[in-house]
Chains A and B, each alone.
Chain A
Amino acid sequence: MDILAIWLGKLTLLALRAVGRRGTALPGLVVEKVFPKFLARRLATLPLGVVVVTGTNGKTTTTKMVATVLAQRHRVLTNDTGGNFVRGVLTAVVQQSSWLGRTPADVAVLELDEAHAVRFCQVHQPERLLLLNVLRDQLDRFGEIDTTAQLLAKVAARTTRHVVVNRDDPRLVAVAAGLAAEVSYFGVAPALREQFPTDEEMYGGDVRFSELKASVELLALELGETTELTLRIGDTEEAITLQAEGAHNAQNAAGAAALALTLDLDAATIADGLRAVQPAFGRGQSFDLDGRRVVLQLVKNPAGFRQSLRTVTGLRPAATVIAINDDYADGRDMSWLWDVEFASVLAGASGRLVTSGTRAADMALRLHYDGLVVEKVDTDLGRAVQQAAAAVAPGETVVVFSTYTAMWQLHQVLAKLTGVAVG
């Protein structure tokens, strides 16, 4: 019967492709309706079970890190298409199964957003869980940060074997207390701790140093043209150059390594895997547009925006475009733009400043109050990026910070302009 579910899903995917649609959710939805128990049955057959990666920021890249690292030893099933809902998982299972009905995988590494992770637990209790952080994000959807932390606590309580927790996030450390599953931690060394401020610390709260022993610790970090770091993985120190750039990804790498340790991979293998990880969709991907390098940075919330902004220092752009949409997936509330301080990073370092997206004017207003001069406000994403690139010399870099739905639109525009299939 499961072969029918897979065929149904695959045919739905083919139909979507035929009309030029992406379809990360619909095949899952169709299969879910007709074969409601299919996903649970299929996941139960995985010998090493399911790893869930969740938290506010870094889910996609970290999932990619865990999957890449584990893939050196195991067959990995993962939802790397951006569908971080239960239906997205189902679509991924269908995609990665054969027409003969087999799912050739030992372990699933799944990115799930906080609310859907709870729902997912009703389908399958994850064997392993990686908790990255709880930050301000889409409060118009979840209401409060404490509410989000409660969602993660539910997922942690239902995890059967091992929960890996960021020791530098006090809300997550509280979640880890009293769990049935084994708990281990990852973290950044005290000397680096101030480079990773929590939302509270941004507003003058004391920087808290955790005393918990981390199985993986970020010992050193250098951000320039490339991201160089040293991780202590168990008892071994490994120097790593990340292709997925930025301080936040160095922290994510520590989390991914700690999770890989729970599946008994050794430090050298883990480090090799991390070195091979390519940037995920819109997380530092770059495109050649008429000889200009266009670098895309997805921004979703204040903490992520602050971290992404720091990449400007290494990239030295001749122009910076900030594209803000306010569709449901982006968050309707623009308040978050005021939780990011722009002047200290962008002043003198951004090049020509352009804002775009539905809320281009809101973004320009925010920058205006930070004393930055916006040269152009253009709600049309394609035009804004094209003109920004045309206005700088060949060989120069244009950085585009963009919210989620704006990123999808930009990908389509860039695919058309550069002739490169992306995303």
Chain B
Amino acid sequence: MTVLTLAHLYPREMNIYGDTGNVLVLRKRLQWRGRDAKVVGVHVGDPLPPDTDILLGGGGQDAAQGEIGRDFVSRGAELRAMADDGVVMLTICGSYQLLGHHFLTKDGRRIDGVGVLDVITTGSDHRLIGNNHIDTDWGRLVGFENHSGLTELGPGAQPLGRTVAGRGNNGQDQTEGAVRDNVFGTYLHGPVLAKSPRFADELLSRALARRGEDPELEPLDDSLALAAADVAIRRPR
């Protein structure tokens, strides 16, 4: 039986908007297909599992990101090597920002990121909050955004998708999230994978392919997820 290793970054601190649900979604979708996942919580100071197949990070309180940020940055070389090695990463909100080059706060402080994604983020005074969905190469992603940092993409990153109704990376250019190889960043909470099953399976397939296993996944009955997504995209922001 295939067992994928899911490394969950800072489960105690970076869990604020239900992003832990992404871990559950991936694990269940493996289990429903007779496979499994080993979930390893990575806390400040813990080593990253050497056999990590998928790295997951969520959003946290702005205040918690100081200590987390320092720990994250101390892992910079390792994270860059993992990204180059094709490890699948899904980072949401605060974790997405830390995966970029840096975060420039409202009062002009520069918080370094790890530079895995070619993005920079600038703090702003108001939060971009509301239902959001985006069109991507892996179908429609449906979630909820809630952030005050504005993110700009450099040439080394592609947008994860385009947003029509929501605000996305910065409220200006209709881009949402960023992709580079198997590394994904997004502002979509929800958790995003719950109502975006095709994207969830894309992450699993990539992780399986990287391990040299058959990336083909048996189809699941996703009618509930799709029904929930259909409702969500029609709701007010």
Contact = CB atoms under 8 A, between A and B. Distances in A.
B139 to A, nearest CB: 16
A200 B12 contact: yes
Given A143-B146, A203-B11, A336 B18 contact: yes
A418 B228 CA distance: 32
User: Interface centre among B12, B41, B224, B232, by most A CB within 10 Å?
Assistant: B224
Q: Chain B: interface secondary structure?
A: mixed
Contacts of A368: 224
Contacts of A204: 11-12, 41
B165 interface: no
A2 to B, nearest CB: 40
A267 to B, nearest CB: 39
Interface residues of A, number: 31
Interface residues of B, number: 38
A179 interface: no
B231 A358 contact: yes
Interface in A157-201: 200
A49 B20 CA distance: 45
B227 interface: yes
A359 B228 contact: yes
A139 B17 contact: yes
B190 A335 contact: yes
A283 to B, nearest CB: 24
Contacts of A336: 18
Contacts, number: 96
B130 A140 contact: yes
Interface stretch (B21-29, B47-55, B172-180): B21-29
A326 interface: yes
A332 B144 contact: yes
Contacts of B232: 334, 359, 362
Given A143-B127, A332-B236, A361 B24 contact: no
B224 to A, nearest CB: 5
B62 A338 contact: no
Interface in A341-382: 358-359, 361-362, 364-366, 368-369, 371, 377
Interface in B176-195: 189-191, 194-195
Contacts of B231: 358-359, 361-362
B69 to A, nearest CB: 16
A338 B24 contact: yes
Contacts of A127: none
The 3 closest A-B pairs by CB, nearest first: A335-B18, A338-B21, A338-B18
Interface of A: 136, 139-140, 143-146, 200, 203-205, 326, 332-339, 358-359, 361-362, 364-366, 368-369, 371, 377
29 contacts: A139-B17, A143-B127, A143-B146, A144-B16, A145-B16, A204-B11, A326-B235, A332-B130, A332-B144, A332-B235, A332-B236, A333-B131, A333-B146, A333-B189, A334-B190, A335-B21, A335-B190, A338-B194, A359-B231, A361-B228, A361-B230, A364-B224, A364-B228, A365-B195, A365-B224, A365-B227, A368-B224, A369-B21, A371-B28
